């Protein structure tokens, strides 16, 4: 979303969300109402929260619900990245792109689509804007006011040991929370700033499909958007500086996705140096060097999806003794307390795992620790995640390499989806469920699932880990037939079969012979 400010940006100005249409007007009226009047500050707040993305909103709603006096400060749009320029708009266009993929494969299902597929890109983007506006009601300033939260629109900064300043008003706090999130890292490539590039903050404002799109970065954001734009009709080239995309994931999982990308027609360029970008005849020319050879690639747009940087500037953190790093963000202990014990942090600004659900989970910890002398620890969280490509890759717990580093021996149970009836019936046989347990036991250490709806399946494993349920218990769980989640049950059954040692089998055989 391109945020335009008419003059030099002062944060009390109204962000201009492009394009101008009824949906973005509805969005703005929820998350940064034009006629919003900041309230008169209370004499002192239990909590002053800077940043109203997921972390800030969840902290504010939870704390106010428990009776705390809460001030919430937001300089742009309530809802932060997730609602406005992250999860919500990306998942809306991914859904449209999956429809395209399904239509291309319709013949295999006995459905003729004689005229071919025509993607109406402006309508795809309009659908996204309409749904985003609809969802924005959950994060609206008026809703939070009704919940008893004092919402201040403007840039917040610490102005004293127990004060935050916003729009000329001073908010006194007992405790404060930094929930200011991150912004996209601008690639360090010569000429790219002059040539211009898109980030997650601008790509969802497009109304015209780029004919040729270069995506820089093969992490989750780059992969999701590369595949979505390819399926919506752009020619896509994905640059990634490692040997496989999604390099946090196991290579066997990433390999399945790479094959899917290749079938989609995405050109993958690994481990090449992106040297320079220049504008030529209306195009952007990217000069690259691969294995000592130079090449030029011409595109219409470049999308940078190569990392996030914490929003630490302008908060005056030094003055209140909050230590931070310009790359890692605000430093917190296990209780999410910063180096100033009265100030906590939650969400992307302080976390390694930057997800909406971790922003939510850490907000809940902060409420307990900051307001109720709680001692909740972020290290106790079990954090799943999912990259919403096709197929999706979801993970929770340890990878095998993590277990090896810790000297933990594992047994691994893998079920390929081409052995699962429902996946075969759905024509979605690509993928697997891979579960690691502590060797000789059924204690689940970690799981990777590659499947079209892996994000829906991983919660069963997360529940098992959180509830200390072993793989043996999962083998006793009746799964409706036919479902793709039966792959989990099959892996669990494979574990149960390992319990049938030759000795026990011998006993059974003798018993059965005797009772014949
Ligand atoms: C393209 C994309 C897709 C994503 N998809 C997913 C997904 O599918 N699932 C998932 O779990 N996660 C996803 N994420 C990540 C998710 O969006 C973030 O983890 C989440 O938004 C973090 O919430 P937060 O509250 O910590 O920070 P943010 O959402 O960044 O909110 C921080 C807020 O603080 C405000 N702020 C900053 N400084 C100040 C200041 N000085 N004064 C006042 N306000 C300030 C900002 O304006 C912002 O509104 C995606 C991210 C991107 C970019």
* Residue nearest atom 37 of ligand 1, based on CA coordinates: 180
Considering only CA atoms, give the Rg of the chain: 25
Side-chain half-sphere exposure of 28, counting CA atoms within 13 A: 17
Q: If you measure from the C-alpha of residue 82 to the centroid of ligand 1, how many angstroms do you get, rounded to a whole number?
A: 5
Indicate the top mutation candidate among 1, 71, 82 to test ligand 1's pocket, ranked by most ligand atoms within 8 A of CB. 82
Cα 407 to chain centroid distance, Å, stands at 30
Three-class SS of residue 201? coil
13 confidence band (pLDDT: 50, 70, 90) = low
pLDDT higher at 502 or 226 = 226
Segment 188-227, tens digit of pLDDT: 999 999 999 999 999 999 999 999 999 999 999 999 999 9
**Residue 82 CB: number of other CB atoms within 10 A?**
25
> Which pLDDT does position 1 carry in this prediction?
54
Q: If you measure from the C-alpha of residue 307 to the centroid of ligand 1, how many angstroms do you get, rounded to a whole number?
A: 13
**pLDDT > 60? residue 9:** no
Segment 94-135, tens digit of pLDDT: 999 999 999 999 999 999 998 889 999 999 999 999 999 999
Indicate the top mutation candidate among 71, 95, 181 to test ligand 1's pocket, ranked by most ligand atoms within 8 A of CB. 181
Beta strand 432-438 with 149-153: parallel, antiparallel or unpaired?
unpaired
Segment 280-290, tens digit of pLDDT: 999 999 999 99
Cβ partners under 8 Å of residue 50, min gap 6: 56, 73, 156, 157, 164, 176, 177, 178, 179, 180, 315
> Which pLDDT does position 11 carry in this prediction?
43
Segment 390-428, tens digit of pLDDT: 999 999 999 999 999 999 999 999 999 999 999 999 999
Cα 425 to chain centroid distance, Å, stands at 30
> Which pLDDT does position 15 carry in this prediction?
67
Cβ partners under 8 Å of residue 437, min gap 6: 410, 411, 412, 413, 443, 444, 445, 470, 471, 495
Q: Is 179 in the pocket of ligand 1 (CB under 6 A)?
A: yes
Q: If you measure from the C-alpha of residue 268 to the centroid of ligand 1, how many angstroms do you get, rounded to a whole number?
A: 28
Segment 144-163, tens digit of pLDDT: 999 999 999 999 999 999 99
> Which pLDDT does position 12 carry in this prediction?
44
| Phi/psi-derived region of residue 238, left when phi > 0, alpha when psi is between -120 and 50, beta in every other case | beta
Mean pLDDT score, 248-262: 97
Atom of ligand 1 nearest to the CA of 91: 8
Mean pLDDT score, 175-179: 98
Phi and psi at 267, nearest 5°, equal -85, 125
The vertex-183 CA angle with 226 and 276, nearest 5°, equals 60
> Which pLDDT does position 6 carry in this prediction?
34
Three-class SS of residue 343? strand
Segment 439-462, tens digit of pLDDT: 999 999 999 999 999 999 999 999
4-8, 85-89, 194-198, 358-362: least confidently modelled range: 4-8
Q: Is 182 in the pocket of ligand 1 (CB under 6 A)?
A: yes
DSSP codes joined into one string, 33-100: -TT--PPPPPS-EEEEEE--SHHHHHHHHHHHHTT--EEEEESS-TTHHHHHHSHHHHHHHHHHHHHH
> Which pLDDT does position 10 carry in this prediction?
43
How many helices, marked H, and strands, marked E, lie in the chain?
A: 16, 25
**pLDDT > 90? residue 510:** yes
Q: Is 387 in the pocket of ligand 1 (CB under 6 A)?
A: no
> Which pLDDT does position 116 carry in this prediction?
83
> Which pLDDT does position 412 carry in this prediction?
98
Segment 478-500, tens digit of pLDDT: 999 999 999 999 999 999 999 98
377 confidence band (pLDDT: 50, 70, 90) = very high
For residue 3 the two structure tokens come to: 């945020």
Q: If you measure from the C-alpha of residue 325 to the centroid of ligand 1, how many angstroms do you get, rounded to a whole number?
A: 18
53 confidence band (pLDDT: 50, 70, 90) = very high
Instruction: Tell me the pLDDT of the chain averaged across its residues.
Output: 95
Closest CA to 23 of 121, 122, 133: 133
């Amino acid at each position: 979303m391109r945020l335009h400010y008419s003059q030099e940006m002062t944060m009390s100005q109204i962000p201009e969300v492009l394009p101008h249409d009824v949906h973005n007007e509805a969005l703005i009226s929820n998350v940064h109402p034009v006629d919003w009047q900041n309230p008169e500050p209370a004499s002192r707040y239990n909590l002053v929260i800077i940043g109203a993305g997921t972390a800030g909103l969840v902290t504010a709603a939870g704390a106010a619900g428990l009776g705390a006096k809460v001030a919430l400060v937001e300089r742009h749009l309530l809802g932060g990245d997730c609602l406005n320029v992250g999860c919500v708009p990306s998942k809306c266009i991914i859904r449209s792109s999956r429809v395209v993929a399904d239509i291309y494969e319709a013949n295999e299902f006995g459905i003729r689509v004689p005229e071919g597929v025509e993607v109406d890109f402006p309508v795809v983007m309009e659908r996204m804007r309409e749904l985003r506006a609809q969802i924005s009601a959950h994060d609206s300033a008026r809703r939070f006011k009704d919940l008893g939260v004092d919402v201040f629109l403007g840039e917040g900064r610490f102005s004293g040991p127990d004060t935050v300043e916003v729009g000329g008003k001073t908010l006194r706090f007992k405790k404060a929370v930094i929930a200011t999130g991150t912004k996209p890292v601008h690639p360090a490539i010569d000429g790219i700033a002059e040539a211009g590039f898109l980030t997650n903050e601008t790509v969802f404002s497009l109304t015209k499909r780029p004919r040729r799109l270069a995506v820089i970065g093969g992490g989750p954001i780059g992969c999701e958007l590369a595949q979505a734009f390819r399926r919506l009709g752009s020619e896509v080239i994905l640059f990634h500086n490692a040997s496989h995309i999604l390099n946090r994931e196991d290579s066997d999982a990433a390999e399945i996705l790479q094959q899917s990308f290749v079938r989609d027609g995405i050109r993958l360029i690994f481990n090449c140096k992106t040297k320079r970008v220049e504008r030529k005849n209306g195009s952007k020319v990217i000069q690259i060097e691969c294995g000592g050879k130079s090449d030029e690639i011409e595109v219409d747009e470049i999308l940078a999806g190569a990392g996030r940087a914490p929003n630490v500037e302008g908060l005056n953190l030094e003055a209140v003794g909050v230590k931070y790093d310009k790359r890692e963000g605000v430093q917190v202990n296990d209780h999410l307390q910063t180096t100033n014990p009265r100030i906590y942090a939650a969400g992307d600004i302080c976390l390694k795992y930057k997800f909406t659900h971790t922003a939510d989970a850490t907000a809940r910890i902060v409420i307990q620790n900051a307001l109720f002398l709680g001692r909740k620890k972020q290290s106790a969280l079990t954090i799943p995640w999912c990259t919403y490509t096709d197929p999706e890759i979801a993970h929770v717990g340890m990878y095998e390499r993590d277990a090896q580093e810790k000297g933990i021996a594992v047994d691994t149970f893998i079920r390929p989806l081409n052995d699962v009836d429902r996946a075969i019936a759905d024509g979605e046989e690509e993928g697997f469920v891979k579960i690691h347990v502590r060797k000789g036991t059924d204690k689940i250490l970690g799981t990777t699932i590659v499947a079209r709806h892996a994000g829906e399946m991983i919660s069963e494993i997360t529940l098992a880990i959180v509830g200390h349920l072993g793989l043996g218990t999962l083998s006793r769980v009746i799964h409706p037939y036919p479902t793709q989640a039966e792959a989990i049950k099959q892996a669990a059954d494979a574990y149960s079969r390992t319990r049938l040692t030759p000795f026990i089998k011998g006993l059974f055989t003798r018993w059965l012979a005797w009772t014949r």
